[in-house]
Amino acid sequence: MKRILLPAGGAVLATGLLAAGLAGTANAVPDWAYDTMAKDAPAAVDVAEFWLAANGATNNLAKATPYTWETKATPKLNAGGGYTPDGKPGIVAPIGEEKKTAAKVKNINLPKTIGKVFFVDEKSQLKWCSATSIQSKYRNLVATAGHCVYDDKADASVMDNWVFVPGYYQGKTPWGIYVGKTAYTHYDFANYEDYDRDYAFVTVYNGVQIGGGTGKAVSKVDYDKFVGPKFVKTSEITKAQYEECKDFNGKETSDCYAKEESSQVLVGPDWKETIDGKEYKAVKVQDEVTKAQYEAAPSGVGQGYKDYTVTEHVTKAQYDAYTGAGYRKIDEHGNYTITHYYLEKWVKESKTTKYLKDTFVIVEGFIKDTGKLGDNVGGQGFTWNQKPQQTVFVFGYPADAHPDGNKAYTGVTPKWTYGKTTGKSFVQAATKVEEHIGLKSSFTPGADGGPWLAKYSNAKRLGYVNGVTSLFGDQDSNGRYDLITTPYFDGETAAIYTKAANVWSGSIVK
């Protein structure tokens, strides 16, 4: 897992088709964090196989249950004073517009963008939430609740085996399964469980469908000749297994080889050791940290003590693109600077030899690319810093029973609810909520992460994501949920969305 934080005051990059719509976010404080999910094509294939490979009569998708976390423990939310936009309202148009119709439609047309996200939670259970495809430069983005992406503990990590299935129905994947590549959320949610920032945007690989057949190990020659989905799995073997492989082939081969690796072990600055008559001493290596970590470190000599700082002058382009630990600052003369902070790190260095074996796998008739998410189902628009009391349509898969045990929904098919959002905000100490937007609704957990769509067109089945379902409340204490809430989408939300909406993912089928 890799998390990168953009320092407060950092520039917001909006490029291509998103630039004009997101210009209003420039003054926001984008404290975003991102985390890697399936890091590459082989890892993504493994995730898709996990959910879609038949295990008995059904696949794992059909075995998942709604992710309820702790909503039932604190069902009451209190009315607060209100919420405040942090800039001008902004809007990004949806994609995948359907043909207009002059006919009057009595029923609500469900968007094709709606679906379920599936994952393995922190207790190793198969779970799901609601979500939607949302507009992005590469048509590869999903919007959902932060708690449907990150586990519910401090300094949270992303859920395992995360995928999105639009139009999901009883184990079926009509437009394919989309494996998560990178998750973007607010720093305060990822690290402090602040539900005022309970939203996430996830880039996904192209969709895939998996059919009959299984992966098959073949020789390197056959692997190179094969046209279709294939990947290499590398595993560590013992020295004896390596020697046997080498003896059998008469030499080291492309699929059985040795690799020398260096390692570092932390020691004190005065460490020394004599081996075979040769004296070894501690070596000081660079250990770059953030400005805050440096200032908190003690002065002197020793492991983790202050070492030195260095400031470099860079171009504006280098300044904007930089995402490392260094401290970015524009000085009094308008120069762009990055200051690097280093602590003392004393190590003893050693080298080890690892023995590895590559297995070459082809997947004949097993997996096929279904294309980009946005090309298949479209993508809802996005809007932020909107005024109170907006009319919204909310979609999701409610499933759980009400607190009194009444089960009004099954979670099998998506449902909708609508109305005007509240003018006052809602607060709840347990989830650090201070400014959630509320909507009267009987939705139950399972609808978590579903989109709140402003200006929803029933004919086009498109609108603008202005929230995601986060909490459920029983306001009159009668044992029935009667309120759902969402974080208020402001300029900081837009900054995080902007970052995610301009990131490419690609296909997992080679």
User: How many domains are there within the chain?
Assistant: 3
**Averaged over 459-485, what is the pLDDT?**
93
Number of H helices, E strands in the chain: 9, 33
Residues 6+ apart with CB under 8 A from 329: 337, 338, 339
Most confident among 78-82, 216-220, 462-466 (mean pLDDT): 462-466
Q: Do 196 and 62 belong to one domain?
A: yes
pLDDT, tens digit, 9 for 90 and up, residues 22-78: 444 444 444 788 899 999 998 998 899 889 865 445 678 989 999 975 444 445 677
Q: Do 53 and 193 belong to one domain?
A: yes
**Averaged over 177-181, what is the pLDDT?**
97
Q: Do 47 and 192 belong to one domain?
A: yes
pLDDT recorded at residue 197: 94
| The overall pTM is greater than 0.75 | no
pLDDT recorded at residue 7: 34
Q: Do 201 and 221 belong to one domain?
A: no
pLDDT, tens digit, 9 for 90 and up, residues 392-410: 999 999 999 998 889 999 9
Q: Do 155 and 233 belong to one domain?
A: no
pLDDT tier at 211 (50, 70, 90 boundaries)?
low
Whether 200 is in a domain gets the answer yes
Whether 396 is in a domain gets the answer yes
Q: Do 101 and 194 belong to one domain?
A: yes
For the record, the structure tokens of 386 come out as 């909107």
> Which secondary-structure segment (H or E) carries 49?
helix 41-52
Average pLDDT, the chain: 84
Q: Do 358 and 404 belong to one domain?
A: no
pLDDT recorded at residue 244: 86
pLDDT recorded at residue 153: 65
Cβ distance 485 to 76 under 8 Å?
no
Q: Do 343 and 403 belong to one domain?
A: no
pLDDT recorded at residue 21: 41
pLDDT recorded at residue 286: 83
Domain carrying residue 220: 216-258+353-362
**Averaged over 236-254, what is the pLDDT?**
80
Separation between Cα atoms, residue 130 and residue 145, nearest integer Å? 8
pLDDT recorded at residue 53: 66
Separation between Cα atoms, residue 432 and residue 483, nearest integer Å? 18
Cβ distance 499 to 491 under 8 Å?
no
CA distances from 110 to 173, 179, 456 (A): 16, 23, 11
pLDDT, tens digit, 9 for 90 and up, residues 153-174: 655 789 999 999 999 988 789 9
pLDDT recorded at residue 25: 45
Phi-psi region of 269 (alpha: psi -120 to 50; beta: other; left: phi over 0): alpha
pLDDT recorded at residue 350: 76
Query: Which residue did the predictor score with more confidence, 274 or 210?
Result: 274
Residues 6+ apart with CB under 8 A from 338: 311, 312, 314, 318, 319, 322, 324, 326, 327, 328, 329
Most confident among 188-202, 274-288, 418-432 (mean pLDDT): 188-202
Q: Which residue, chain included where needed, has tokens 């602040």? A: 194
